[in-house]
Amino acid sequence: MENNKSATVGEKLQAAAFSFTQKGIESARLEAELLLADLLKTNRTGLLARLRDPFPEEKEQAWQDYIQKRQAGWPLQYITGKQEFCDHTFQVTPAVLIPRPETEELVQIVLKYLQKSQKNFKVIDVGTGSGAIIVSIALAMKKSVKEKERARESQNESQNESQSQSHSAYHAIDISPEALAVAQENAKNLGLQDTIEFTQGDLLEPFLAKKSLNHKFNVIVSNPPYIESEIIGTLQKEVAHHEPHRALDGGIDGLDLYRRLIPQGAQLLHPEGLMALEIGYNQGQAIKKLLQQSGFTNIQIHQDYQNHDRIVTALQPQNC
């Protein structure tokens, strides 16, 4: 039996990694390191420097809780309560989908579009979940404006640029109040509590009801549920048993939300406005057809690093 009082940090790490391997957890050593680093409030480098230190006795119960949850299939991110995305740390809970690395490309596509625009803009993230997409976009655009200000040769030009940014607007909507609470906390943690407007509602319906030019957007971005209903049960248990099904389930063919969102977006985008959607690996052509049916042009299917369809972008016609 392990002597908790005499165990070192390294011994605790080794034991956890072994138990994860026995449970078939991929990257068992890495996950053990990340969990233990979180418990000890350090990073992996700091953890490795402490391997010979005595393990803090007062942390034993919390450490056992971490291990038991991970062995039971809890995603690491729900145990630590955080996930890295676009170089920022976001709070995550079982109320929200864990942000994936491939979604960072969706953010980059939107940023390229916005940075080419010299006018004020309005962006909305539909089904915002943790808020990772809209928060990352807002942070990057604010940074871009500051860099332009520093490059200005005259004070008047700098003020004009700053005023231009101040009239840009960021919106986020989600049907889940629990998800919105997480998104709002992330915005607050990253200094954007007064920058992003949060709305509870089903897709874009609250904005359709307003029927006002003031509620049209330059960009609609979304990573909606797109997994076929019958497939969800076959996913990794970390996903199937722990992530919110509402954020995963796209109906029989995975396209239910797109069939509603795309026509709504066509009514709420300004001319030449951008719709940017994350999609399933085999849905590119089907989404393209839905966009064409709603009158969108310049439709492009973007592939991920595995050469799978991952993002579709389209523009609202000029004469709309």
Give the integer Cα–Cα distance in Å for 20 and 66: 12
**265 annotated to bind ligand:** no
**233 annotated to bind ligand:** no
**225 annotated to bind ligand:** yes
**223 annotated to bind ligand:** yes
Phi, psi of 98 (to 5 degrees): -75, 125
**53 annotated to bind ligand:** no
Beta-carbon contacts of residue 301 (< 8 Å; ≥ 6 apart): 284, 285, 287, 288, 309, 311, 312
**174 annotated to bind ligand:** yes
Give the integer Cα–Cα distance in Å for 225 and 203: 11
- What number of CA atoms fall less than 13 Å from residue 288's CA on the CB side? 12
**195 annotated to bind ligand:** no
Contact by Cβ (8 Å): 252, 228: yes
- CA-closest candidate to residue 149, choices 167, 170, 165: 165
- Give 304: exposed, middle or buried? Use CB within 10 Å, 0-12, 13-18, 19+: middle
**127 annotated to bind ligand:** yes
Place of tokens 């299917």: 301
**131 annotated to bind ligand:** yes
**280 annotated to bind ligand:** no
Q: Annotated binding site for S-adenosyl-L-methionine: which residue ranges? A: 127-131, 174, 223
Q: Annotated binding site for substrate: which residue ranges? A: 223-226
Q: Annotated binding site: which residue ranges? A: 127-131, 174, 223-226
